[in-house]
Structure 1
Amino acid sequence: MITYSELRRELVGMFADAGIASAAVDSDLLITELAGISRPELFLCAGEPVPAELERHIRELARRRANREPLQYLLGVAYFMDLELEVTPAVLIPRPETELLAEYAVKHLPEGGSMLDLGTGSGAIALAVAAERPDVRITAVDVSSDALEVARRNRVRCGGEVRFLQSDLFSELPGERFDLVGANLPYVTQEEYPALEPEVRLFEPQLALTAPDGGFRLIERAARELADHLNPGGRAIFELSPPQAPRLAELFVKLGGFDEIDVLADYTRRDRFVSVRIAIQQ
């Protein structure tokens, strides 16, 4: 029988040969998640034999990972802030930088305020904010019914009072206004899409990734409709690609009625967000 150490070494080599930069990390995660042990425990039992059924299961998923299927889809979970979320190919895998959008909402929402999460996907942003700010009323929308099924299961899994609705941006929210709108909408260009990593291009939903007009169409639509859905003094924050940040900031200037228009950086100091406040009429 093969030992944990031998199996780990084999997986690291397999993943490295497949061009996976995080070969060692992915090997550790795959083994520990399926074995139900921690990473330190993996090294403590390095010389112990791997049970035959567990080895079969690990090898089965390892072959799929070597074909560049995302580890999160293989395991069915992804981590976002303090949440463990279900993820399927119906939703994007939550990115670490998007946690900054959720943190912005937690910080800027008024006591007892209201929030709209545009393009909720797995529900990561809405549920993370709900966990930190149970005083806030949160609505989350997505155009994909399949994504909303995952989000609703995550609401049961993680808790939190979040209203999930199927809506094309604001289409099903006539007359509703919020203290904060968070938008993580598709922003990848059609030209960029073929060059994306295989994990993204081959497995994640293109509907949630790409948009026409240089990836800007949905962001622009949301920006133009935003004023009708913010309370006086309400704020919004958009996640987007760095080249789009100045374009969106300039659009808000041209639209008028907004102040505190800021471009915010992500963990790698790249311009990743644009935040605005709707001006309070004097």
Structure 2
Amino acid sequence: MQAVARATNFLSRVGMPSPRVDAEILASHVLGVPRGRLALIDGFTADQLAEFDALVARRAAGEPVQHLVGSAGFRYLELAVGPGVFVPRPETELLAGWGVTLITPGTTVVDLCSGSGAIALAVANEVPGTRVYAVERSAAALPWLRRNAEARAAAGDTPIHVIEGDVTDLAVLADLDGTVDAVLCNPPYVPSGVAVPADVADHDPYDAVFAGADGLAVIRPVIARAAALLRPGGVFGVEHDDSHGAAVPALLRADGRFTDIEDHRDLAGRPRYATAVRARGVASEHRGER
């Protein structure tokens, strides 16, 4: 389609990182067809072309393509996103996939810093019969989380429990301490002052991206909270900045309640998430927890 080719060239000239993908996503949104069927479409009507060109201009100005179409793909799901909630990234699919391979029906899973609910809902979609809790504190993100949870429950996925709360608060899900089978978390982790792409800086919530001078201000208490929640033998996975490949495993070792600590790389070969197993025979009260 000539309009898509023209939009691709325009987005490339203004420096968008994935101009062809963006143009195709916007075209499929306007036309109401999957991207794979664009080649079968004759073209836009005049009204559709005007809408498409307007969306391309907004993308060129830095607005996230996910905000423009109102959704973001995550593993096998399409999740509603928009202003106020962090847009899930492909890197986080790796952490969710790691969790899915270890989680079995009937187990209890907690998604900390849930945001749009991407990880929690992926688990509920791919491992039916799980008991999934999604914890989020942001008043702006919670409506998106609830909207996605309701939509996936209506689609037949295992319902998730949405919990409004701060993941660093020891009282959040305290009744589950010592019983949870898996804790997964994509927290804010970018060190403050680090330059990020304009669509992140201008549109993702600051508190969902940055976490103190070293980027570990949330990960530190999340490690402690995960250790308290998990049963012995339960698993923990946390996404981190690509500068944290040594720091996060070191924090897990220093906590003293985890074994089998590993760090994992993303598809670009960068350190991206750390995993561990809750040690057996080590009390939750270690280092003053609870």
TM-score (norm 2): 0.89
**1:1-282 matches, cutoff 5 A:** 4-5=1-2, 7-39=3-35, 41-46=37-42, 48=43, 50-159=44-153, 160-171=158-169, 172-177=172-177, 178-192=180-194, 195-281=195-281
Letter of the 1:238 counterpart: V
Structure 2: give runs of 5+ residues left out of the alignment: 283-290
How far 1:10 moved relative to its partner? 2.9
Change (3 A) 1:37 1:254: closer
Letter of the 1:252 counterpart: L
How far 1:39 moved relative to its partner? 4.1
Change (3 A) 1:109 1:69: same
Letter of the 1:184 counterpart: N
Once residues 224 and 143 of structure 1 are traced to their aligned partners in structure 2, the CA distance between those partners, rounded to angstroms, is: 18
Cα displacement string for residues 77-125 of structure 1 (whole angstroms, at most 9, x for unaligned residues)? 1111110110112111111121111112212224411011000010010
SS of 1:228's equivalent in the other structure is helix
Moved more, 173-182 or 112-121: 173-182
Cα displacement string for residues 210-257 of structure 1 (whole angstroms, at most 9, x for unaligned residues)? 011311011001112332211121111110012213112112222212
Q: Does the CA-based 8 Å contact 2:264-2:271 persist in structure 1?
A: yes
Once residues 203 and 229 of structure 1 are traced to their aligned partners in structure 2, the CA distance between those partners, rounded to angstroms, is: 33
Change (3 A) 1:10 1:96: same
Once residues 40 and 183 of structure 1 are traced to their aligned partners in structure 2, the CA distance between those partners, rounded to angstroms, is: 32
Letter of the 1:161 counterpart: P
Change (3 A) 1:231 1:45: closer
Q: Does the CA-based 8 Å contact 1:148-1:165 persist in structure 2?
A: no
Once residues 279 and 141 of structure 1 are traced to their aligned partners in structure 2, the CA distance between those partners, rounded to angstroms, is: 24
Counting matched residue pairs gives 274
How far 1:130 moved relative to its partner? 0.3
SS of 2:90's equivalent in the other structure is coil
How far 1:261 moved relative to its partner? 0.9
SS of 1:212's equivalent in the other structure is coil
Letter of the 1:180 counterpart: A
Once residues 158 and 36 of structure 1 are traced to their aligned partners in structure 2, the CA distance between those partners, rounded to angstroms, is: 21
Q: Does the CA-based 8 Å contact 1:245-1:272 persist in structure 2?
A: yes
Moved more, 250-259 or 117-126: 250-259
Change (3 A) 1:153 1:40: closer
Cα displacement string for residues 121-144 of structure 1 (whole angstroms, at most 9, x for unaligned residues)? 100100010011112100010111
SS of 1:117's equivalent in the other structure is strand
Cα displacement string for residues 19-64 of structure 1 (whole angstroms, at most 9, x for unaligned residues)? 1132222222211221123445433445x5x322212211221111
Once residues 110 and 233 of structure 1 are traced to their aligned partners in structure 2, the CA distance between those partners, rounded to angstroms, is: 14
Structure 1: give runs of 5+ residues left out of the alignment: none
Change (3 A) 1:232 1:41: closer
Q: Percent identity?
A: 33
Once residues 34 and 110 of structure 2 are traced to their aligned partners in structure 1, the CA distance between those partners, rounded to angstroms, is: 37
How far 1:207 moved relative to its partner? 1.2
Once residues 256 and 153 of structure 1 are traced to their aligned partners in structure 2, the CA distance between those partners, rounded to angstroms, is: 38
Once residues 75 and 211 of structure 1 are traced to their aligned partners in structure 2, the CA distance between those partners, rounded to angstroms, is: 28
Moved more, 183-192 or 21-30: 21-30
SS of 1:107's equivalent in the other structure is helix
